[in-house]
Every structure is written in structure tokens, then in C-alpha cells.
Structure 1
């Protein structure tokens, strides 16, 4: 069986998108997703995204997101923008992290990703603690903020984020028993009241050029600590995202997305 796909990216965070809304496509096992994501022997991607019809009257369709290791996650901001571009019109999308709204904007695509959650058991953490400044450390990274924006994030604020060896500390923090569902790891430097520089170790994917939910989590954490104002630009290795949050209600993320190419693959080649 040959399966059609669309390859897209948001600031270099790239996706293989399978659209099963009008054509019945098989559900891929984790090992096939991991094989497709391999950049040497597969198509190559950070996440595989599957579009399905939604069982909710509140949503136009459903989006499922699988990391490069085959594990399913609740949300991906950059994938949301890519799917919005592919869909072409404003939409409400059901995800495992909740229903989100997408629409065209001056900055490309705007995504209302929902309200952040700060309770320790909503992140989730293994036990109760202050999520604004957690009393924990790994190497020279300490006192992170924790927030769930459809998936869990730990945010570390440092003087020079580019000097942090995230490729070493990222896997250690991601898999710490403190995080029962693992964690996305963000290291950020506040440049001024309207600008943040950020790098992200994404659970199940590793270092990534951009992470939309990571940008949202980092911006919200910085706002809660009163380090920035409520409308900020987050600069990632792949480019910039605009994040707005009034302190309650939904986070709005705006930024570009782009189609790379289309093709098809034989499923048996990846099983």
C-alpha cells in the first residue's frame, strides 16, 4: 500500500503529514513512525502528524502528533501552523491537549493554543512543589518554571543560553523521575522586555530548530516572573515567533509555516 504525505515545516521544525480525513489510511505503529522520521533512511522529520475526522461537534477535524521516537504527544505549536496552512481556512482543531483555533494572520498563521496550566499535578510532576521556581537543579541549570501548554515544559532562565550544553543535559532532565510523562526542556535568555532567546530539547525528538509550545511555555513563564511584558518575540535557531498572553485565558502564537514537498511511500518498506 502506498500512502500519500505532505512534508512541511515551521521555522525548520519539520513534519510528515498524513491526511486521513477523506481517505482511509492505516494507523502506523511506533516503529514505522520512527523509521519514517529517520533522516538517513526515511523521509526525515521531527514529528509525524495525522489528520482525522473529529468526534467533537466543537472541532472541524482532529490532529494527532507523534514524535520521532513514535510516541504520541498532546500538542505541537509549529505543527498546528503547518496544518492550518495546509487546511487553508480558519479552523478549530481537536488535539489530545484540547481544542485549538487557527487562522491566517499578518505573521503567517495565528494559533490560540489554550490556557496554560501551572498546578504541579497538571504539568505533571511526581510530587507537589512550586512550579514558578522549582527547588531542583541539574548541573548549572536550576530553579526552572514548569508549565503545561498541551504538553509539559520546564523552563530555565540563564544569562547566556547558547553556552548551555543542552545536548548533554536535555536527555537527563527529560527522563528524570520527577517528570512521569517526561518533559520538554527549554533554556532561555531574556534579552529585553519584549525579546527572549530560546533553545529547546524536545522530548522524543531531541534538539530542534524551533518548538512552538516551548516558545509559549517560555514566554508565559517569563511573564509570570515579571521578566517581560505580555507581548514578546521568542527567537529560536530556526526563526522568531510572537507570543501574546494577557495573564489569563488563551495564549496566542503567530509565525510562519511552509510546505516543502509532497510524495508517497510504501508502508511495507518501514515495517
Structure 2
């Protein structure tokens, strides 16, 4: 907890205190000047809005498509499903840096670079392989007899997916969803590559605006912005911690 406390206390220091006082020294006064600058110069509210606009649809698509793919690959019986799973898993081994330039060229030709769609599409595509692999493992822990019994009662594969598969995967979906949420929300490389205008910047890209073109940084405002970012994510994690642990335990036991 000390690094977080040090960062929060640093958000109340002036620029002069960062250079003249020891790094572990307490702030001389607790004023909100840095937080005001974070909301004005840093434009943190707009950045937060953009991050949520990008993150929420991306995570929803990742979870839905990943759960559906995991169900199709592990529960349904069809020729070539093992090879398909290996092909999807190969996507985990593709470094994101390798595909940024081709993706940017493609998005430019499609005419969507002046929007947040490139971020949503990229995050979704990059999150599906890992989510599919994990969801297949969760479905593997569910007794197949449950789905066979539903089939004997006349349930179609699609109906079994919605009335059996999804309800049984709630904890797993929450766990993977939070992992993907933090991954997308905290990303900088992809957001920086596809963000073409300051008003489209996400929170991580917005933090760069607190540094000028010559490398000078307003540390007080930067610490304030990072504190707001971290505290919000920490609150989400604390409230959902039990669900996360339940979802991790559910996938570790063979049913």
C-alpha cells in the first residue's frame, strides 16, 4: 500500500516540493490545485468518458464471443474443433506491436480513423483468443451429462447455451471480464497509435498531455490524475474481489 499512499500524498505537493524536498517528505499543505489542473489542463473527465466508451463495448464483445466460442469448442461435437482451438490459441502468441501498422492502414482505408471504433475493434480481436482458451477450460469442468440431459429433453444447442452455459459461467465471466477490463482500460500503446485527436484520447493517453514537448512534467497534476485513475479501479476491484476469487476457484476444479 505504500507506493499508492506515496502517490496520493505526492498529488498534493507543488512542483517546487518535488525538486527541493526528499521524495518521502509529506506535502507542506493539502490543497486541490493539482486536482483542478488535472480536470482542466489534463481534461481527465473527457479522457475517462472515452476510456469507458472504448472499454465497456470491448469487454462485452470479448466476453460474449469468448463464451460462445468456448461453448462451441468444448461442449459441441464437430469435426476439427481441436484444430480450431489451437488456431485461436495461436492468436495469443502474436505480439500486438506486429499488427499495429497493418491495422492502422486498414482502418484508414475504411475511413474510421477519426473515431473510437479502431480501439474497440482492436481490443476485441486481441482479447478473444485468451478468453476463448479460458472459457473452454471452464466449460471442460462442467459435467457433460448436464448438456446431454438438456438435449434429451429437446433443448437445442443454442437454447442450452443460454439456459445452462451462460448461467453456470457467471463467476468465470466476471473474473475474465475484470481481467480484460483492466487490460483494456490501462492500455497505452494501442490507444496512442489509433488516437488521432486530443478529444478522442483515453485516460492513459491523456496523462501524456501533462508533459510538454521538451520533456518537462507537472508532477503534481500527473500524480493527481494517476491517483484518480488508480482509486477508481481499486474501488471496483475491492467490491468485486469475492466474485473474482469464486470465478478463479470454479475453473480450478474438474467437475
Q: Shared topology, TM-score over 0.5?
A: no
Query: For this structure pair, what is the TM-score category when the shorter chain's length is used for normalisation?
Result: under 0.3
**Larger strand fraction of residues:** 1
Higher relative contact order (CA 8 A, sep 6+): 2
TM-score (norm 2): 0.24
Greater helix percent: which structure? 2
TM-score normalized with structure 1 length: 0.23
